[in-house]
A and B are shown apart, each in its own frame.
Chain A
Amino acid sequence: NAGVTQTPKFRVLKTGQSMTLLCAQDMNHEYMYWYRQDPGMGLRLIHYSVGEGTTAKGEVPDGYNVSRLKKQNFLLGLESAAPSQTSVYFCASSLAQKSWGNYGYTFGSGTRLTVV
């Protein structure tokens, strides 16, 4: 059981380049999320999805787009990368209903992105 898999694990982009980060989960979770993690800032929500074909903005959506064409996949796109988008990106998935024990998220291992 792989859980949540993120690709790639590392990437260096030049300012203005575009890229797509892929998140895949095999737990049949309804909800999926993209977070960024910066030093001293904690995890901040970029976009999320409550089901296939749906997306919604989180706390810091500017400069990013997402798509959820299949239930198991959630893609995060950067159309024109900026140095301010240098960060570690985490994908997570969760159940839709509250229940004990990890009702929260299952996280991927992260993508470290550097924009130069």
Chain B
Amino acid sequence: GESVGLHLPTLSVQEGDNSIINCAYSNSASDYFIWYKQESGKGPQFIIDIRSNMDKRQGQRVTVLLNKTVKHLSLQIAATQPGDSAVYFCAENIPVTGNQFYFGTGTSLTVIP
């Protein structure tokens, strides 16, 4: 299968600080990426997506950056809150696979009050 990896398995930040979660993907043909948030005991929830023809996309308190040159994604969370504590996954879609996504192992974010 495809390799989608995360640089850091765990991340701790102070409440109010900005968080940056990184992700490396391996297939240069991937044209669509999603970040998911998974809280304990729940299924993954969509956060934000980006297509390969973009470098940056912003949502509410979140920004995704895409660097196709080095096949790297990052998720930035502004003013991190305790409710942001969760595991964050990136996922990539390769066009030839249809709707199949390949998921990274996740980064566990802990927000310290």
Contacts and interface: CB of A to CB of B under 8 A. Distances in A.
Interface of A: 4, 31, 40-45, 48, 50, 58-59, 90, 92, 94, 96, 98, 100-110
Task: Please classify how large the interface on chain B is, using the bins under 10, 10 to 19, 20 to 34, 35 or more.
Answer: 20 to 34
A40 B105 contact: yes
Contacts, number: 57
5 contacts: A43-B44, A43-B89, A90-B43, A103-B49, A105-B44
Nearest to A40: B105
A19 to B, nearest CB: 20
A96 B89 contact: no
A107 B34 CA distance: 14
A2 B104 CA distance: 27
A106 B34 CA distance: 12
A105 B99 CA distance: 9
B104 A109 contact: no
Contacts of B42: 109-110
Contact of B100 (A40, A45, A96, A100): A45
B44 A50 contact: no
Chain A at the B interface: SS class: loop
A59 B45 CA distance: 22
B103 interface: yes
Nearest to B9: A40
A22 B68 CA distance: 39
A103 B50 CA distance: 10
Contacts of A105: 44, 46, 101
Given A59-B1, A94-B99, A103-B49, A108 B43 contact: yes
A58 B104 CA distance: 16
A104 B105 contact: no
A101 B104 contact: no
